[in-house]
Amino acid sequence: MSKPSKIGVGIIGTGRIGKLHIEHLAQNIPEAELIAICGLDPADIESLAEQFNVPKTTNDYTVLLADPQIEAVLVASATDTHVEISQAAARAGKHVFCEKPISLDLGQIDETLAIVEKAGVKFQVGFNRRFDAGFMRIREGIASGEIGEPHIMRITSRDPAPPPIEYVKVSGGIFLDMTIHDFDMARYLIGDEVVEVYAAGGVRVDPQIGEAGDIDTAVITLRFRNGVIATIDNSREAVYGYDQRVEVFGSKGMVAAGNLLTDTVTFSGSEGTRAASPPYFFVERYRPAYLSELRAFFACIQKDTPPPVTGEDGRAPVVMGFAALKSLRENRPVLLSEIQP
C-alpha cells in the first residue's frame, strides 16, 4: 500500500503560536510540507523561511490561498482576523486549522461554519489542551466508566502574569480569552453540554485591568445537562508559575491531573523540602499538545474523518463566555439558551 502524499501547508501568523507551529511543521510532522509563511514583518518571515527551509513567503494571505500547492492553512494570526481568513480559505477550497476563537461574534461564527460546510473542507479549532496526555487520560477514565457516574469537576487555571493592558482592552475579557480554554475542557472531559453558568469575579491583581473594564480573578460554576456540577477558578497571576489542574469525582472514584514541573528534582534540608515550579506559561506547558493537535488535523485530512475539534466545538465555549459575562454583570445564573447571535 502506498503512503499518502504529503499535504502542502501554508501558515498565516508568526506570533508565539505561529512560530511553534512552523517549527513543528518543519521538523516533526512528516505528513505535511510547509510551502509558505505569511506574516506582517518581512524580515521576520524571511528569517523563519531561511531557518526552516520554507520556499515561499508573503505578507498577503490571499497570495497564499491562491497557491495550488497549498491544500491546508493554519490560521495563527491576530484574533480579529481569524474569521475573515478562515472564510476566505474555505472558499478557496483549503482545509483550515484555526486558532481559537473563530470569532467573538456568534453570527460570524455561524456564517463561517456554513461556508465551511458548503465548501466541504476540514475545519479544526485550536483547543490544544484536549491533546494533553494527562487530560486525555482523565477523559478516558470518565468515558470508560472507570470513575462511575461523574458528579463534580474542578478545573484550576491560573496564568503566571497578567497580559498587557492593551491586549486586555481588545481581548473580549477574561471569559473569552482565558476561561474559554476551561469551558472547552469542561465539555470535552464530561462529554456533555453545559446548560447554565454562574460567574463571580473581581479585580485582585491589577487595578488597571478593572479600569479597562475587565476582571482578573473569577470562579465559575457550570451545570451540565446530565447533572454534573463543575467549578472553574481563574487568576491572571500565579506567582509560582502556570497552574493547570483538573479533578473529576464520580460514584466509583476520582481521577485527577496535577501540574507538570520543570524537573523532578527535590531538595530536602533542615528547613523542609523544595521542588521545582510548574513551567512558566502555555507554550512551555503544552508544547507536546500543540504537536499532537496538528498531527490529528493532518490525520483527519488523510483519512477523510471528522476533525477532533469541530467548528461547533469552537462555537460552544464562546456562548459559555458570553453567558459568564452576563452572569457576572447581572449577578445571577444564566442559561445558555439566553445567549443568541
Domain extent listing, the chain: 3-121, 130-286+317-338
Q: What is the pLDDT of residue 4?
A: 60
Q: What are phi and psi of 200, to 5 degrees?
A: -130, 145
Q: Which three cell numbers stand for residue 91?
A: 472558499
For residues 267 and 184, the answer to whether their CB atoms sit within 8 Å is: no
CATH number of the structural domain 3-121 = 3.40.50.720
Q: What are phi and psi of 274, to 5 degrees?
A: -120, 145
CA 132 to chain centre: 11
Q: What is the pLDDT of residue 1?
A: 41
CATH fold of 130-286+317-338: Dihydrodipicolinate Reductase; domain 2 (3.30.360)
**Burial environment of residue 273 by CB neighbours within 10 A (0 to 12, 13 to 18, 19 or more):** exposed
DSSP letter for each residue of 291-340: HHHHHHHHHHHHHT---SS-HHHHHHHHHHHHHHHHHHHHTS-EEGGG--
pLDDT in tens, the chain (341 residues): 445 689 999 999 999 999 999 999 999 999 999 999 999 999 999 999 999 999 999 999 999 999 999 999 999 999 999 999 999 999 999 999 999 999 999 999 999 999 999 999 999 999 999 999 999 999 999 999 999 999 999 999 999 999 999 999 989 999 999 999 999 999 999 999 999 999 999 999 999 999 999 999 999 999 999 999 999 999 999 999 999 999 999 999 999 999 999 998 999 999 999 999 999 999 999 999 999 999 999 999 999 999 999 999 999 999 999 999 999 999 999 999 999 98
CB count within 10 Å of CB 253 equals: 11
pTM, to two decimals: 0.95
